[in-house]
Amino acid sequence: MLSTKDRAETCKDQIRAFLASNFYIADADALESHTSLLDQGIVDSAGVLEVIGFIEESFG
């Protein structure tokens, strides 16, 4: 069974993979957990809805 920390890392990895495959990110490895997707121009308001939909579908 995964620890809470391991589950959090798995979630982060899945979200990063979703972002990298659905949005243009020049250096996906440089994407930090605290990076503002809106401020960095990675997603727009419609993109935020896509990310939220992915999170809801994947993690409930």
> Is residue 29 assigned to a domain?
no
pTM score = 0.83
Residue 27, pLDDT score: 84
Amino acid at position 43, single letter: V
Which residue, among 28, 20, 18, 25, has the nearest Cα to 50 in the 3D structure? 18
> Is residue 8 assigned to a domain?
yes
> Is residue 9 assigned to a domain?
yes
Number of domain units in the chain? 1
> Is residue 51 assigned to a domain?
yes
> Is residue 30 assigned to a domain?
no
> Is residue 49 assigned to a domain?
yes
Query: Which domain, by its residues, includes 41?
Result: 4-22+36-59
> Is residue 31 assigned to a domain?
no
> Is residue 12 assigned to a domain?
yes
- Per-residue pLDDT of 6-54, as tens digits, reads 888 899 999 999 999 999 998 888 888 899 999 999 999 999 999 999 9
